[in-house]
Structures are given as structure tokens and as C-alpha cells.
Chain A
Amino acid sequence: MGESEFKQIVDAVLVGDVEKTKILTQEMLNKGISPHDVIEKGLMEGMNLVGDKFERREYFLPDLLVAAEAVKRATEVLKPFLKGEKGRGTVVIGTVSGDIHDLGKNLVASTLEVSGFRVVDLGVDVSSERFVDSAKKEKADIVAISALITTTMVGMKDVIEALEREGIRKEVKVMVGGAPLDEEFARKIGADRYARTSRDAARKAVELVDG
């Protein structure tokens, strides 16, 4: 298997060709390439390049979202091949109470999924109680909370306090992210990690579960 085979799927993600990404994924799996290689050397590599282009303003929202869609559909093809393998863990993710901005959260959720996590997406405007209930029910390894606005990000602390109150703070790691946040804020509210980008989130989630 030469690098050129990965280049094809990377390019398919890069141009947002949903069908081609799916077909190439299937073909590679049929050839016996490991699903993790398809994810890491193919889909994730493609998303990384898309992210770079977006940051340089060469790409716009449709480009970003269609690439994410291609990866998402390819992940559906991959899922049966990952079955039986021990996943990396479960992430419960949502935007904090009062905040409905979910573009970043959705990207992080897809990225974690293709990185091998089981992702339970609670959507937007998620109350502390729902984070806690879901973390218990899903036996989550990580609770990931997103906020876009300064007035809602303070609510992240409430989620962490609720996890403590319910006695499960020790079992779950907390990761936070979103435009107005930084490392200092994350530390101050007692989160385990701050993630700046979806790529960063995937890397840190792996760190958190690997200990």
C-alpha cells in the first residue's frame, strides 16, 4: 500500500467529495488496510488540511462542513470494521446551558468519532443535570463542554460542580473549549483540559483516557 492510496482519500476529503470518500474508504477496507490507518492517514489527515485552509481563509464554511460530512459518512462505512475492537472510550458532549452555537462542538464531535471514541452528542443548550445524567448513563470517560459566548461560558463551572455533587467527578475527565476560553479559564473552573481546535480536542482526549 503506497502513500498514493492515502493521497486519493485525503484529496477526496479536501475537495469535499462525499461519495468518493465513502467509496475509497470501502475499497481500502476491502484491501485489508486497517480501519485505524484509513482514519488517521486518510480521513483525519484530510480534515487537518481542510482546517489549515480554513484558518488561512482559503476555505469557507461550506468547504469545512462538506469535508466534515464526507468524513462522517465514511465513518459510517468504517463502523462495522471497528466493532469488537475496544474503542478509545465514551465522550458525552454538548454546548453549555444557554448557548446554542454548535458549529465548533459538531466539528469536535465528528473528530472524536473518527478518532475512535464513542460520542454521545447532547446537542445545544444542555443543562448541568443532563450532562450529569448522561455521563452516568453512558458511563462516560470524558465530558466535553463547549461555549461560544462569554456570558454562557461561566456555566461550565456549574457542570463541573454538579459532577462533584453527584460524586462522579473522579470517574470522568472534563474537557472544555470554545472561542472565548483559554487555558487559564479552564484551570480556574477545574477542568482537566482546554482544547483550542477539534484536532487539539482529539489529541487531548486520547491523552486523558490513556492517562
Chain B
Amino acid sequence: MAEMTSRERVLEAIEHREPDRLPVDFGNRCWTIVNATPYGYKALCEYLKISDYPEPKIVHLMNIVVNVDERILKKFNADIRNLGSGGLGVERLPDGTLRDLDNHGIIYKPAGPYFSVPDTLAPLRNAISEKDIEEYPFWSDYRNPVYFEGKEEEAKYLHQHTDYAISTWVPNIFHRYAFIRGFNNFMLDMRINVDFFRALANRILETSKTFVQEFLGRVGKYIDIVCIGDDMGTQSQPFMSVEDFRKYVKPYWAELNREIKKYTEAKILLHCCGSIYPLINDIIEVGFDVLNPIQPLAYQMEPERLKRDFGERICFLGGIDIQRLLPFGTPEEVKEGVRRVISILAPGGGYILAPSHNIEPETPPENIVAMYEAAREFGSYPIKRSRLC
């Protein structure tokens, strides 16, 4: 088969057709690398003998690098490039916490290599009425040109002058609900403050829709994948029952997707961590084309099960375990693990290989390199189908 461009390769996979070889990705917001010791981004650069990399651009919450050096992306054959939005950044408060001005004033507190978002600092933790929601002073206004200025030109350039599939991220709804209101309240509001829940979820949804109108309204025609990151799972089960999910989450996602589709023909990716097997049918139903991150050690998230039950209806992006295999395996074990996942998920298309979340600081750089080498080694189509459970 003639060699495809990265963009063709990615879109073929999402359409469940076999491209020339398995598409892969690295360096995007939920499948990049943490900037912390003992290894992390700097160790990866050193290992690859790159010393003049640009100053790492960090997303505070997860302490991740979102401008991974282009030489690394090329070496790993990454097929996607991300278009970030502009923003106001964070405000450093006197007590050492940070206020995220682009995400409705969520408060981050330094905690080890990461930042935490404690319930005790959630800005709307004590709110009780719709009035409290409206009077909250830190709602981000995505009509501010700072979010989209220059982005149309940048998107057009990436589309016309590179062969990569272009992704971008749209602000989520419930992740931010949990951070603005506190996680416990997020869970409790569904049970004891239903009217308040709907009012706050709607208010956040409206901001996401404004972002879509302003940002995708300008860049939508150049974008191939629109991503939303809205977690719904722990390691062992979804946050809530399927019934609650259908009542309290699904309608909001459906509405956001309808809005996105007004402004772009791009595929839509949902990043949704953890054990979410019981929700996947509904996720497909509301129009998501790609599911990320596929954490194979989470309950019922084995690649075999997912490929068997949903493989023809949704494309998977992720799947290479960051919890044990990448940090604690040998390079040989990593290669074997990658080969195995490819043999399960790749046949027939519908798979883009990436780590199952951001690569943790305990992961030796040689394992990261081994992962992408194996992706190239075992990723040429046709790929023999592994027996599914």
C-alpha cells in the first residue's frame, strides 16, 4: 500500500478502515508526559540527546508538557498535532494557590509533582441557589479575543502546510463542575440538590457552547478531531450508575456535541478515564467517534472486551498501560505489551496507539522509546487478528 499522510492515516483508522500502518500519537494533553523527577520530560529529552528544547509549556493541573519538542514527535511518528487556544493563564494567590482564570476560577493547590483541586477550596462549595451561580465573579468569558486571536491563521497553516491530523480541545462540563463545586458536592447534588445541579451544569454547558461558537466558529473547518475531556470513572467502576449517567450527564454531552457539529465536520473524541465500560454504548449514541484513554488495568477495560463489544462502532486512542507496564516493565516487556495490544485493537482499523494517559515521572525514557519503536515494528497492516475473549 502506498504510504499515507498522517492525516489520512488517522482519519482512515477513525472510519474503521485499515490504513497503511497503525497511527500513533504523543504529546497531546491527555497522552503526553509529566514534567517531574525522577524521569519525566527532561529525562526523555536528555535520553534522546536533545538539549535545546523550548521551555516546557505546562498545563498546571496535571503538570504536563503540551509543547513536546517537534523532534521527539517526529521520532515517535506522532500523527496528530494539537492546536491550543489562547488564554489568560493562572493568577498566583497570596496563600500559594493558583486561580485558573480560563476555567472559571478553579483553585489549584500544589501537591507533590501535581496540583490538587481540594473540595475545601472549591469556589462554589457553599452555593445554594441559582443566584449564587449567577453572581459568581470568576466565570470565564470565551468571547474574549484572547482565546481565539490568531488561531484561524494558525489552524489554516497547520491544515494546509502540514500533513498531520489537527486536534483541538473544547472545555468540558462535569470535570469543571466537580472542580468548581467540589467532587463530593458533584455527587451529592445529583441526589439532594437536583435543581441546583441542573442550573450549574447548564451554566457550565453554556460556557462550553460559547467557546465552541467563538473558537470552532473560526478554526472548525481546519480541524480533524475535537477533543473533550470529561472523566466518569474510578479504577473500579463509573462514578455513577448508568441510570444516573443517562439522567444527569448524557443529555449535556449530547447538547455539546450538537453544538460542535454546527461548526465543524471534525470527528469528536471523548477522554474519559477509568472504568466506564457500562457507559460506552451511550457514549457512542451521543456522537463520539473516538474514545480515550482506554486504561487496560481499570475494571472491565481490557482491550479484548472493548474491541469485541464496541470495536466496530467507536475508535480507540490510547491503551498502552501507564500504571504498571510503562513505569515498571523492562523495554522488552513494553515491546511485548505493545505488540499484544496492537494485535487486539488494530485489526480492521479503529485504533490509534498512545499511552493510556500522561506518562508518569517514574517511567524510564527507554520504555517510552521502546513503546514507539514497537508501534512501528508491529504496526504495519495487514495485522493478524488476535482471538478476542
In the bound complex, do residue A18 and residue B192 qualify as a contact, i.e. CB atoms below 8 Å apart?
yes
Among A62, A151, A152, max chain B CB count under 10 A is at A62
Q: Within 8 Å CB of B237, what residues of A?
A: 57, 60
* B15, chain A: closest CB distance, angstroms: 34
Q: Within 8 Å CB of A151, what residues of B?
A: 112
* A101, chain B: closest CB distance, angstroms: 8
In the bound complex, do residue A62 and residue B187 qualify as a contact, i.e. CB atoms below 8 Å apart?
yes
Q: 1/0 per position for B271-282, CB-CB distance to A under 8 A?
A: 000000000000
A69 to B188, CA, bound (A): 8
In the bound complex, do residue B238 and residue A60 qualify as a contact, i.e. CB atoms below 8 Å apart?
yes
Q: Within 8 Å CB of B236, what residues of A?
A: 57
Q: 1/0 per position for A111-125, CB-CB distance to B under 8 A?
A: 000000000000111
A181 to B304, CA, bound (A): 31
Q: Within 8 Å CB of A61, what residues of B?
A: 187, 234, 239-240
Among B119, B187, B190, B236, max chain A CB count under 10 A is at B187
Nearest-CB residue, chain B, relative to A152? B112
* B185, chain A: closest CB distance, angstroms: 9
**A206 interface contact, C-beta 8 A:** no
A40 to B374, CA, bound (A): 57
In the bound complex, do residue A62 and residue B118 qualify as a contact, i.e. CB atoms below 8 Å apart?
no
**A46 interface contact, C-beta 8 A:** no
In the bound complex, do residue A65 and residue B118 qualify as a contact, i.e. CB atoms below 8 Å apart?
no
**A128 interface contact, C-beta 8 A:** no
Interface residues of A in 53-104 (CB under 8 A from B): 57, 60-63, 65-66, 69, 98-100, 102-103
**A146 interface contact, C-beta 8 A:** no
In the bound complex, do residue A60 and residue B188 qualify as a contact, i.e. CB atoms below 8 Å apart?
no
Nearest-CB residue, chain B, relative to A149? B112
**A198 interface contact, C-beta 8 A:** no
Interface residues of B in 236-278 (CB under 8 A from A): 236-241, 244
* B238, chain A: closest CB distance, angstroms: 7
Given A62-B188, A65-B187, A100-B116: A125 in contact with B109 (beta carbons within 8 A): yes
In the bound complex, do residue A106 and residue B184 qualify as a contact, i.e. CB atoms below 8 Å apart?
yes
* A106, chain B: closest CB distance, angstroms: 7
A125 to B116, CA, bound (A): 9
**B389 interface contact, C-beta 8 A:** no
Given A61-B239, A62-B190, A62-B191: A125 in contact with B118 (beta carbons within 8 A): yes
In the bound complex, do residue B116 and residue A60 qualify as a contact, i.e. CB atoms below 8 Å apart?
no
**A16 interface contact, C-beta 8 A:** yes
In the bound complex, do residue B111 and residue A60 qualify as a contact, i.e. CB atoms below 8 Å apart?
no
Nearest-CB residue, chain A, relative to B184? A65
Nearest-CB residue, chain A, relative to B115? A100
A83 to B21, CA, bound (A): 72
A7 to B119, CA, bound (A): 33
In the bound complex, do residue A60 and residue B239 qualify as a contact, i.e. CB atoms below 8 Å apart?
yes
A103 to B241, CA, bound (A): 18
Q: Within 8 Å CB of B183, what residues of A?
A: 103
In the bound complex, do residue A100 and residue B111 qualify as a contact, i.e. CB atoms below 8 Å apart?
yes
Interface residues of A in 160-205 (CB under 8 A from B): none
Q: Within 8 Å CB of A100, what residues of B?
A: 109, 111, 116-118
**B120 interface contact, C-beta 8 A:** yes
A60 to B232, CA, bound (A): 11
In the bound complex, do residue B192 and residue A69 qualify as a contact, i.e. CB atoms below 8 Å apart?
yes
* A151, chain B: closest CB distance, angstroms: 6
Q: Within 8 Å CB of B188, what residues of A?
A: 62, 65-66, 69
* A203, chain B: closest CB distance, angstroms: 23
A61 to B178, CA, bound (A): 13
* A20, chain B: closest CB distance, angstroms: 12
Q: Within 8 Å CB of A103, what residues of B?
A: 183-184
In the bound complex, do residue B119 and residue A102 qualify as a contact, i.e. CB atoms below 8 Å apart?
yes
Q: Within 8 Å CB of B117, what residues of A?
A: 100
For the complex of A and B, the 9 pairs showing the least CB-CB separation, nearest first, are A100-B116, A66-B191, A98-B112, A62-B187, A65-B187, A60-B240, A61-B187, A60-B241, A100-B111
For the complex with contacts A18-B192, A62-B191, A62-B240, 12 further pairs of A-B residues with Cβ separation under 8 Å are: A60-B240, A61-B234, A62-B244, A69-B188, A100-B118, A102-B118, A102-B119, A103-B183, A103-B184, A106-B184, A123-B118, A124-B116
